[in-house]
Amino acid sequence: MPPLRPYQREPLRAIWRSVRSGAGLTFSVMMARQAGKNELSAQLEVRLLLRFAPFGGDGIKASPTFRPQTLNSLDRLRARLDDAGLAGLWQAERGYIVRVGRARMVFLSAEPSARVVGHTASLILEVDEAQDVLPEKFDKDFRPMAASTNATTVYYGTPWDGNSLLEQVKARHLELERRDGIRRHFEYDWETVARYNPAYGRYVQAERARLGETHPLFQTQYALKPVVSLSRTFSPADLRLLEGSHPRLPGPAAGERYVAGLDLAGQSWADASAGWDPAGRRDSTVLTLGRVRPGSFGPTLEVVHHEVFTGLRPDVLVPRLAAVVRTWRPEIVAADATGLGQPVVGLLAAEFGRRVWPVVFTAARKSELAAGLIAAVKAGRLKVYADASAERAEFLREFALARTTARPGGYLEVAVDPAEGHDDFIVSAALALEAAAGVRPRRARGFPGPEL
């Protein structure tokens, strides 16, 4: 089996002592992403199965989802058993159980709808990615599994919003440590891991350069600091990076590559007012047009034009949008196809075909777009034209008002509080960045030169 590093062996020894002595302690283990917590867990499970094979007992491991997380844990344990020379000596049962002798590891999903009651954790109870497991689900279905046996319980993961299951357990463990001196919480950020693995340190430094040090994903997954929900997403320094020096363009320039992001208004179509509402009383349809420049950590998007429509019926809106797309000829139009947006996007796709990318806003999709938007702003890869227009002012205003919220399940959300305004320009910009990421780099073509 792969040798464990000192920061992996430290919690393993503490957990093993509790199991062997029947102390029934609980532990929390926070490790930076890709630092090896899953390897620690798998090797612990191998030890358990070998130690209790003659005597019997069940270990339980819960994961936020069955596919892929539970299946990944199963595959990792099977591989480590083979590494330990036990190929052919372990058995798989029911698709979610691994047996060695009379001892078993049972892998269960902690999804809210999963039916898992009836199991008993006599050897250990593990919770993988505990920050993504709902506390109510764990308390109702999983915590009782260790009650009759006083089994050792281990929570693994990274911080999230400050109030996740893992962070609640961490706070309780730190308080207990202050009372009795028994260490229950183990935490290793990326800098600690890098001391033992320089290659990992170089990788994380590149991620920091790509995302920006204050990006929520870097803070939670590498620095092990929770997202401060409802805090302003962008600092004054970030907002300055948004301000480009290029002019606003009335139309496309020859030789440039353009993309577009389309956020469709959610208001009632009954309001026939065609003008933009800069006072912020109604949502608007915003079409962001940007010029794509290649970059080291992803393309840079220079916003060169905005089109804004408010209160137009679909039969009026679609021809106007189509006219703008014909003029600018963007390579990709990433468009909000959620709810009322679906028929509008469908009509645009009927004319422009594969150039129109429908984007349906699920929680996961919105989180991906939010993460990409934050990374682009903090890395200086999103710039808006320099002029005195109301559109540019609203664009910068919305970014200044944006707040980050950490949602259950590990989802990010970037939005403007409705009491403060709208976020049409933000969503449109996020979609334009999505389109820019899909632009393929041009390949140089040439002819063989004369032989020298």
pLDDT band (50, 70, 90) for residue 337: very high
Sheet containing 152-157: give its strands across.
Answer: 90-93, 97-100, 103-109, 57-63, 124-127, 152-157, 26-31, 185-188
Q: Where are the domains of the chain?
A: 6-222, 236-438
pLDDT > 50? residue 132: yes
The predicted-structure confidence for 20-72, as pLDDT tens digits, reads as follows 999 999 999 999 999 999 999 999 999 999 999 999 999 999 999 999 999 99
Place of tokens 């532990």: 27
**Average of pLDDT values for 259-278?**
62
The pLDDT value recorded for residue 282 is 60
Confidence of residue 441 (pLDDT cuts 50, 70, 90): confident
pLDDT of amino acid 231 = 74
Pairwise CA distance, residues 413 & 407, whole Å = 7
Phi then psi for 232, rounded to 5 degrees? Answer: -65, 135
- pLDDT tens-digit map of 201-248: 999 999 999 999 999 999 999 999 999 765 799 999 999 999 999 999
Which helix (H) or strand (E) segment holds residue 39: the answer is: helix 37-52
In angstroms, what is the C-alpha Rg of the chain? 27
Residue 108, helix vs strand vs coil: strand
Residues 343-367: what's their mean pLDDT?
Answer: 97
- Residue 443 binned pLDDT confidence (cut-offs 50, 70, 90): low
More confident residue, 230 or 330: 330
State the residue for tokens 């279905």.
141
DSSP string, 348-369: HHHHHGGGEEEE---HHHHHHH
Class of domain 6-222: alpha beta
257 pLDDT above the threshold of 70: yes
Overall CATH class of domain 236-438: alpha beta
pLDDT at residue 272 in the model: 34
pLDDT classification of 180: cutoffs 50, 70, 90? very high
Contact 427, 263 (CB under 8 A): yes
Residue that wins the pLDDT comparison between 220 and 442: 220
- What pLDDT does residue 29 have? 99
Residue 273, pLDDT above cutoff 60? no
Classify residue 314 as exposed, middle or buried by CB count within 10 Å of its CB (0-12, 13-18, 19+): middle
pTM for this model (two decimals): 0.84
